[in-house]
Chains A and B, each alone.
Chain A
């Protein structure tokens, strides 16, 4: 590694922060392993996508300004999500077309912002990782990461360096799972059709673990697979790459907790 360690600002993403902090810690571990120094600005909540995709530009801009300020000064900003990284990288600059100084700042941030796995391979030139995880996995390409950031080969490349892991590609791995942020609650029936298709392809792949790089999609697919009673474990790809799969998979009960639930609630 270079003598000076790159300073990374971790954009945790709201879903990882709230739902699955272990993904955030996996990201930190992967970045530190690759020689980075990681900080987590506290003045972050969300990238603003829910407001942006609902047509609420005022709130989007306010949130974007907040993110721009919070991540000022880092060499890179990395998010364990193609969707949030893409929001910052591809959409922030367009919010400030009528405000050149802010636009310049947004562009500066956009240039420094990356999705986690592609950052590891494409910027830090990580060739391999080590993990004790083993099993047959299938990988879902989340839309924003795939089509806006070109994340496709990178996660597969790193997964292929794990000796115990076999990738079993599913059919239509690059087709939307039907999550779409607020889409899944605004159009639940259409979303259900899409995630039902996805669950069928996941099951048909024969893999025992489903991986992806975006927690929203993962929660959607996990929720469907579990509702259908399909025994596939669902995890963020960073958990596997960082060898941090001690936490139960998404939607699975805490180990040893099922028996005495009363004691937990206290």
Chain B
């Protein structure tokens, strides 16, 4: 996927002016925040489970070489195959080859962010395959030829009216008189449309929330059941997963599962948590005949051991963006690539380069709400700051910012000079602003005064007044 991250500011401006989008974004706040808080309050052990989950992932990452090798052995033992892909390109080629080996025509897909990361659909479609997204949100945005705007709610940027219009446009046999104005009717329509596609599919592709070294198992967590139909009905099941999804054993996965759904949707547990191990056994009446895991690196092995290692703990619950005021304001598409919100602001520069995605870690007030809700206790603001440091070191930050900062720092590092100059500057500013108490425009403050007034200073600086008071010469 081509990124538009360098145009973040323009994207944001467009998003802020898009009334339909702004209406849909209200659903992010109302749909997620209260539910998560309720789920947290209901489970007294929630915060301790967050600590435990963080520790499990830290342990796993410190021994990821061992666990990945064991995982591969166990997959092979259970009759499946692991394919190691260093790059997105390699992963796409592997998946296409598996599809071609079984003469696949129709491929169904469960929701997978890794699939978005490697731009899988376009690649398979170019090769002539009929690719069908089955998660309702993914299905809708596939019809619209859009990217997901949220990692667990891909169509959160749309209103139901937009979905109705899309269904009426694309579903050729849909009678005009059939009502589709309510979500229930839209869900029923999608269910009916996709039912046939599951049965036609030759290959089903899913992502993975976890990979279990103990058993060679891949785990998906869904609510719709589409992932299960996708991976059960076709002859071939392909799992596409990045390598940091590994956990040691089922108990470890279980601990993290206890915080995943609660953090994501506020559910106690998602409707379907599915543990898949190998293909169907000889005596099984259903299930796929082949089971492949494409294990993707795409830059993660380089994040290990760096100041961005903590990001590899991420379980893609979406809590950070659900609570992010910047995400609430502009939505996911403004971020310009696959992963939006705070987790995207940290991960995207790692995956596509800070030259390309440098805007994202800057577009944060560091309000810290993301870190406060992250089930894996990832210090997201700290890592965004690390990206800013790298940009600063590499002179990627805007020249005006560097110049302003240098000017300010020169004085900030010289207190006596600073106090003298600040003293007369503030008095002058105060004198001009005193009658109104504020300014509606000032030189060099366009970013501020475009939208709000700038208060006038009181007059003398605190340091001046304090010095006067100490010497008894002040008038206050």
Q: Is the interface of B mostly helix, strand, loop or mixed?
A: helix
Which A residues are in CB contact (< 8 Å) with B476? 25
Binding-face segment, A71-79, A105-113, A153-161, A191-199: A191-199
Whole-angstrom distance between the Cβ of A9 and the nearest chain B Cβ? 13
Docked CA distance A222–B363 (Å) = 23
Of B109-117, B277-285, B309-317, B456-464, the stretch lying at the interface with chain A is: B456-464
Q: Chain A 222-253, CB within 8 Å of chain B: the 1/0 string? A: 11101100000000000000000001101111
Contact present for A44 and B435 (CB under 8 Å): no
| B447–chain A nearest beta-carbon distance, Å | 3
Taking chain A's interface residues, is the majority helix, strand, or loop, or is none over half, making it mixed? helix
CB B349 to nearest CB in A, in angstroms, measures: 12
Stretch at the interface among A48-56, A129-137, A203-211: A48-56
A24 within 8 A of B: yes
Q: Is the CB of A193 within 8 A of B453?
A: no
Kindly state whether residue B330 has any CB partner on chain A within 8 Å.
Answer: yes
Contacting chain B: which of A29-37, A116-124, A162-170, A254-262?
Answer: A254-262
Asked if residues B368 and A178 are in contact (CB atoms below 8 Å), the reply is: no
| Nearest Cβ on chain A to B310's Cβ, whole angstroms | 14
Contacting pair A12 B463 (CB below 8 A): yes
- With A18-B426, A264-B435 as known contacts, state yes or no: A223 contacts B16, CB within 8 Å: no
Q: Is the CB of B385 within 8 A of A55?
A: yes
Check B393–A24 contact: CB distance below 8 A. no
A188/B450 contact (C-beta < 8 A), A55-B390, A251-B455, A251-B456 known: yes
A151 at the B interface (CB under 8 A) = no
- Say whether A187 contacts B9, CB under 8 Å: yes
Interface size on A, residues (CB 8 A): 75
With A12-B462, A54-B397, A247-B458 already in contact, the answer to whether A188 and B364 are too (CB < 8 A) is no
B432 touches A19 (CB 8 A): no
Q: Is the CB of B453 within 8 A of A40?
A: no
Known: A18-B422, A40-B466. A55 touches B388 (CB 8 A): yes
B46 at the interface (CB under 8 A from A): no
Q: Is the C-beta of A148 less than 8 angstroms from some C-beta in chain B?
A: yes
Cα of A126 to Cα of B34 in the assembled complex, Å: 34
Interface string of A93-113 (1 = CB under 8 A from B): 000000000000000000000
What distance in Å separates the Cβ of B395 from its nearest Cβ neighbour in chain A? 11
A residues near B455, Cβ cutoff 8 Å: 19, 219, 222-223, 250-251
B12 touches A189 (CB 8 A): yes
Encode contact with A along B434-476: 1 for CB under 8 Å, 0 otherwise. Answer: 1111101000011110111111111111110111000000001
Taking Cβ atoms with an 8 Å cutoff, the residues of A that contact B are 12, 14, 16-22, 24-25, 40, 42-46, 48, 50-57, 59, 62-63, 66, 70, 143-144, 147-148, 175-176, 178-195, 197, 219-220, 222-224, 226-227, 247-248, 250-254, 257-258, 261, 264-265
In the complex, 16 of the A-B residue pairs with CB atoms within 8 angstroms, ordered by the A residue number, are A42-B463, A45-B418, A45-B419, A55-B390, A59-B409, A63-B409, A176-B369, A187-B9, A189-B451, A190-B12, A190-B329, A220-B452, A222-B455, A223-B455, A226-B452, A258-B436
